[in-house]
Structure 1
Amino acid sequence: MAVEKLITQHIDTWTSALQTRSTAGRGSNGKIDLYGIKKLRELILELAVRGKLVPQDPNDEPASELLKRIAAEKAELVKQGKIKKQKLLPEISEDEKPFELPVGWEWVRLSDISGYIQRGKGPKYAEHGSVKVVSQKCVQWSGFKLEQSRWITDESIHSYTEDRFLKDRDVLWNSTGAGGTAGRVIYLPVVKEKLVVDSHVTLIRTVRDNGQFISNYISTYGIQQRFDPKHSNTLLSGTTNQAELNSSVVTSFLVPFPPQMEQERINDKAAELMSLCDQLEQQSLTSLDAHSQLVETLLATLTDSQNAEQLAENWARVSQHFDTLFTTEASIDALKQTILQLAVMGKLVPQDPNDEPASELLKRIEQEKTQLVKEGKIKKQKPLPPISEEEKLFELPGGWEWRRLADIAYVFSGSTFKSEDFNNESGAKCIKITNVGVNDFAHTNDYLPVDFLNIYSDSLVRCGDLLLAMTRPYISDGLKVCVCPNLYDSSLLNQRVCAIRLYHKSSFYYKYMSSETVLNIYQSRFNNSGLQPNLKMNDITELLIPVPPTAEQDRIITTIGMMSEICDQLKSRLQSAQQTQLHLADALTDATLS
């Protein structure tokens, strides 16, 4: 099958195979991996370097003849002193060859077809100059990023031989680091200014114009896998943090070598098909962005509804397009967040005039606080500032009340412990800021001496307490707030973590703390300030919180649970469908290569 047909006949497979890299919130299509198009790019390169992208022409001069001329040309350059004589490398054994080549192709070592292979050297940097040094940051899969380069001192230019200055048709290969840095490669058809490379980049200069094909081969998935230090046939040496692509590995690196005319046809066809992939990618991203904006706009109509009747109308409008709107994990997460927002604004369930108003609940809370202070169980709190009309975040339904968080909860922060106080074996568990995530508690192995439970009794947390990170309290996915689990009852709280112990135990307040309302309050406090987000106790104790009637709180929590379950089922079905698409993309790739 011609590759163009392979792309067009299976266009849905390539464009529908999406992978969500992590839990996504609103407007986060950047977290969606266009897996199918990525596999298509890999397939194009793999077909190219195996001789399956374009047909062979029996009239092409075989690669063996070109290799003879390259060897003769290199010998002459050595004789003229223009290049150094290269060390003899062992012949290529059959066991080394990773796959069978078409007729007229040859397996060669990179040094066989190169006149110059050399890592750069450590530069002396300057603020300004006439020569730039190319670092690994400049060599990206998305292109040559010369804006990442720096100048070298003019005084050091004389220490660079002519060979070290980049020339047209050079190949640059990142040679240090793991995790995607080492291995990146780029072909430079034209070099327009004076450039050298630093010691983390290897410069490869082929005798003839073979750099583009070599770069394509190095870019293939099979070769890039070998830049994992744990790979059984890794190209790297050294430790994970200091992994290196040694020059000896580069010179002996095995590459397939087609006839020159076929190389040019392959390069042209690969570039044409990669351009088509670029178009598919842009169309997919544009479609995802448009879908995201549509979802955001329609969900905003729900939270902007002025009353229950308008909400019902807007919900009916959204529900008509349910199957087309909620087709990504991001859109389903946005729906869950909208449900939560409607809940905390009093728009999710109808009010019942027979419910006891929140004012009665608040009276009981005040009586309980007074009694706890009297018994010495809590400290008498400082008076909180009155709530002005301007502060109120939205209009509350009848029977609801605005209060500050410290009106309805005992709020305290942790104690400062020394590093030598901790051990990893046994004792009193300690909750640190690293344990608190977005709706998630990460278990700890940090223990303090048992007698600290008495010494630092003011820092004891109970299961059911809300825990809030005070330093970097939020990420893009939400506020770092969670519930203290049963296993951590009577644990000690470390510094920069806040505990919120509600006088009226209800999941509603946790839902509110997890809502976009609270996230937006804290984000707006630190946005554009240039400061690391650090909450003070006043930021937490004075936080405005809506208090619904007790009976309505129960109805809200029940409804959130039911609707969240529907969202989870939607996401589960979507993930299953996505997995099927991923398998289809993989199967299509494997079938084409076999």
Structure 2
Amino acid sequence: MTLQNLLDRFDLLMDTPESVPKLRQFILQVAIQGHLSERNPNDTPAEVLLEQIQHEKQQLYDAGEIRKPKTVADVDESDKAFAVPRFWTWTRLNKIALGLRYGYTASAKEKEEGVRFLRITDIQDNSVEWTEVPSCDIGDDEIEKYRIREGDLLVARTGGTIGKTFLMPKVPVEAVCASYLIRIRPSPQVSSSFVKRYLESPLYWRQLSEASSGTGQPNVNSTALRELAVPLPPLEEQQRIVEAVGQLMDECDALEEQQEREHALQVQAGTAATEALQSADDAETLRPAWERVRGHFDTVTATPEGVDALRQTILQLAVQGRLTERDPDDTPADVLLEEIQQEKQRLYDAGEIRKPGNYSQPDADERLLELPSSWQWTRIGSICLESLYGPRYNKEEYVEEGTPTIRTTDMTERGEINLQDPPRIDVEEEELAKHRVLEGDLLVTRSGSIGTMAVFRHDYEAIPSAYLIRFRFPSQVIPEFVRAYLNSTYGQDLLGLSENSTAQPNVNGTSIKEMQFPLPSVEEQQRIVDTIDHLLSFCDDLEDLLSETGEHGEQLLEAALTDVSVDQQNGAPTGVTA
């Protein structure tokens, strides 16, 4: 397969978000290996170019225009990642640059006049909005040292963009760069655009990674940059490479836009179908909405967003009572409520719980939907025995052996608890009796990963951490059903956690107990929970299938990239011209 054939057929390999970025990296790698450009015997060989650059640097040093050039070792055979084409040579970045310098250390000043102080955060999407760049105080004798100009390359040496490079276009103002940037000034006899492409290539990132000394973070400092091994072509060929890469990156842009459009259409189609299902008010509108989802099921579940929307639809329909049948032998919800109030009073009289609060029934205008006739609107406080915040402990109170504390990180997406090396407390029996979690307790996170919930279904001793709220329910309430409601669109809206919510998240014991709640019989609660578990397991399988398909797509892409053929005579892929 030729590179051009790969590009022509690339739509068949665009199954994952990483496909186009991988193609970009492949293009950069073959470019710096000389596979995208032709050799021209009239070009000035790179060895001669290096001699000219060294002569130029010596002249500039003698004239006092640059600092004394740093000495770096020649590239030995072990540093040569591949054999370079004829007229090329291996060299170090330091040998093709007039100098590398850390940026200026100063405080940014928000004023309209003065020398501009370019920071990492001022570089967005490979461009600079100079009217937004602050200024700094810098002496006249320092400006020339730190000045940035067209053709300079700025490398971030810290932060989230560490190692990334920005090629300075024309600089319309007097400016210096901040100290978290390293300025590379290539010789005029080298194409800054070619060096920029090299500094985006897999070879560059691999060398930075190898210099990281096991830290996992690229090692970006002036020494590491100076010693980078660079495959250097003649200047004329550098320009041909830059042009060829630019054309191929334009094609990548088009492929990426196509991928984004197709993904957006898939998400839009899937969301429209599930939203129609969620908004169906009665059986007459529910039936065609379901037929629409069933008829376009592949589209609905073609993306992770589509599977998430299906999960939310399942929860919403479940708490509406639309996924289960009524059973006349079930205990009606109003009778259930009376039993719960009697149970709460009995436990209070026995001194086992605090005095129950009084919660009014939701008014008609508070009711979020029309419930089945055997259900009842109530409030979570009316069906909850008690709520309790997890205790807070000082650092010195934690021990190696003791009662484990449950954290948000111990909660799974499916609402289960799986302890992961939890902190432990040596807690007195009286305090343990007060705070311990019992089987069936619902734990809700009130800070950090706010709104994360799980039901405790274990027989070991444990207590909730300080950022959790423990809710305990009587036997007439299935806590997994409460969790399903709180995770549904209705519950998320009331908690202020939905994407469309305009209110601040309101996750605390008082506000949750005031929330209106649709109560079915305990038997139907169990049927709903069982149905949800079954359908969400199916969604998990769909998500796994998407992941496997993505991995398979990546394998196909890797195989296709490996299979791209090159003409060994001049290094140019068949069908690709510079």
Report the TM-score when normalising by structure 2: 0.90
- 1:518 and 2:491 matched: yes
2:248 — aligned with what?
273
Distance 1:549 1:293, change over 3 A: same
Contact 2:98–2:185 (8 Å) recurs in 1: yes
- 1:110 corresponds, among 78, 83, 93, to 93
Cα RMSD for the two superposed structures: 2.6
Shift of 1:539: 0.3
- 1:134 and 2:121 matched: no
* Inter-partner Cα distance in structure 1 for 2:56 and 2:412: 63
* Inter-partner Cα distance in structure 2 for 1:61 and 1:548: 84
1:26 — aligned with what?
none
- 1:498 corresponds, among 458, 461, 469, to 469
Report the TM-score when normalising by structure 1: 0.87
Contact 1:410–1:502 (8 Å) recurs in 2: yes
The letter of the residue matching 1:468 is V
* Inter-partner Cα distance in structure 1 for 2:352 and 2:37: 81
* Inter-partner Cα distance in structure 1 for 2:526 and 2:213: 60
Distance 1:336 1:238, change over 3 A: closer
- 1:423 and 2:407 matched: no
* Inter-partner Cα distance in structure 1 for 2:250 and 2:296: 34
Shift of 1:569: 2.7
Shift of 1:350: 3.3
- 2:384 corresponds, among 409, 415, 421, to 409
Secondary structure of the structure 2 residue equivalent to 1:394: coil
* Inter-partner Cα distance in structure 2 for 1:528 and 1:329: 25
- 1:196 corresponds, among 162, 176, 179, to 176
* Inter-partner Cα distance in structure 2 for 1:239 and 1:563: 43
2:423 — aligned with what?
446
Shift of 1:143: 0.9
* Inter-partner Cα distance in structure 1 for 2:131 and 2:517: 47
| Structure 2 portions without partners, runs of 5+ | 567-578
Secondary structure of the structure 2 residue equivalent to 1:402: strand
* Inter-partner Cα distance in structure 1 for 2:172 and 2:18: 35
2:196 — aligned with what?
215
Contact 1:411–1:498 (8 Å) recurs in 2: no
- 1:366 and 2:341 matched: yes
Shift of 1:593: 8.1
**More divergent stretch after superposition (362-371 vs 460-469):** 362-371
Shift of 1:148: 10
Contact 1:133–1:149 (8 Å) recurs in 2: no
Contact 2:442–2:454 (8 Å) recurs in 1: yes
- 1:464 and 2:443 matched: no
* Inter-partner Cα distance in structure 2 for 1:254 and 1:314: 61
2:332 — aligned with what?
357
- 1:186 and 2:161 matched: no
- 1:579 corresponds, among 528, 533, 551, to 551
Deviations 1:229-258 (A, max 9, x none): xxxx22x479778x7533222223221111
2:353 — aligned with what?
378
The letter of the residue matching 1:519 is Q
Distance 1:582 1:415, change over 3 A: closer
Shift of 1:94: 1.6
The letter of the residue matching 2:368 is L
User: Highest relative contact order (Cα 8 Å, sep 6+), 1 or 2?
Assistant: 2
Distance 1:148 1:291, change over 3 A: farther
Deviations 1:119-151 (A, max 9, x none): 1121232121322222233456x3134469753
| Identity %, equivalent residues | 28
Contact 1:3–1:53 (8 Å) recurs in 2: no
| Structure 1 portions without partners, runs of 5+ | 19-33
- 1:206 and 2:186 matched: yes
Distance 1:518 1:386, change over 3 A: same
Deviations 1:493-512 (A, max 9, x none): 34342111121242322221
Shift of 1:567: 2.3
Distance 1:409 1:68, change over 3 A: same
Distance 1:148 1:326, change over 3 A: farther
Shift of 1:270: 0.8
Contact 2:208–2:219 (8 Å) recurs in 1: no
Distance 1:510 1:527, change over 3 A: closer
2:6 — aligned with what?
6
Contact 2:348–2:356 (8 Å) recurs in 1: no
Distance 1:436 1:469, change over 3 A: farther
- After TM superposition, the structure 1 = structure 2 runs for residues 67-466 of structure 1, keeping only pairs within 5 Å, are 67-128=50-111, 129-139=113-123, 142-146=125-129, 150-154=133-137, 156-176=138-158, 180-208=160-188, 209-228=190-209, 233-234=210-211, 236=212, 245-420=220-395, 422-432=397-407, 435-436=410-411, 438=413, 439-441=415-417, 443=419, 444-451=421-428, 453-455=429-431, 457-466=433-442
Secondary structure of the structure 2 residue equivalent to 1:219: coil
* Inter-partner Cα distance in structure 2 for 1:440 and 1:352: 29
